[in-house]
């Protein structure tokens, strides 16, 4: 079953400037051990469905954290900017869901962390949260 995370992954990979940099390395929840950089991680933070007393509501809202990793802080920032350009203000079908709106919910956060290979190397990241309002494409009223 497709999820919002997998739909966002497909949508980001369909954007040539991003896929040229990360290839297939857009991962849900965590990067692979020893992941080649640059790479992107998508993490679903919160989600809720609208409530409607009259009928079943098909509208949902989720906050998604997207972390962009690279060997330098500048490269991580540049990748995060490409993600922002792709997602900010998007309205339309992602894959199995229809996004009625995607908006940045935070400014960019920079971080660094040691690479998990036991060495002294570090990887750099830039992170931003997005709010996605959506409904499953099969539930869009005509």
CATH code at 82? Answer: 3.30.2000.30
The two three-digit tokens of residue 95, written as one number? 């894959």
Minimum mean pLDDT range among 23-37, 94-108, 109-123: 109-123
The verdict on whether omega for the bond into residue 38 sits within 30 degrees of 0, i.e. cis, is yes
Note the pLDDT tens digit of each residue in 3-37.
899 999 999 999 999 999 999 999 999 988 888 99
> How many folded domains does the chain comprise?
1
Across 64-76, average pLDDT: 96
Q: What angle do CA 134, 50, 52 make, to 5 degrees?
A: 130
Identify whether the C-beta of residue 48 lies closer than 8 Å to the C-beta of residue 38.
no
Dihedral sign of CA atoms 85, 88, 91, 94 in order: positive
Which residues share a beta bridge with 123? 113
The parent domain of residue 52 ranges over 4-139
Q: How far apart are the first and last CA of the chain?
A: 24
């Amino acid at each position: 079953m497709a999820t919002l995370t997998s739909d966002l992954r497909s949508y980001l990979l369909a954007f040539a400037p991003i896929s040229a940099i990360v290839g297939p390395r857009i991962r849900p929840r965590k990067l692979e051990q020893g992941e080649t950089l640059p790479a992107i991680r998508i993490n679903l933070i919160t989600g809720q469905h609208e409530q409607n007393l009259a009928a079943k509501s098909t509208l949902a809202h989720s906050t998604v954290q997207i972390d962009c990793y690279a060997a330098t802080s500048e490269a991580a920032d540049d990748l995060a900017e490409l993600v922002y350009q792709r997602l900010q203000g998007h309205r339309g079908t992602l894959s199995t869901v229809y996004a009625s709106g995607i908006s940045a919910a935070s400014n960019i956060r920079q971080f660094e962390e040691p690479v998990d290979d036991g060495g002294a190397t570090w990887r750099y990241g830039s992170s931003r949260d997005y709010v996605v309002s959506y409904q499953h494409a099969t539930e869009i009223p005509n």
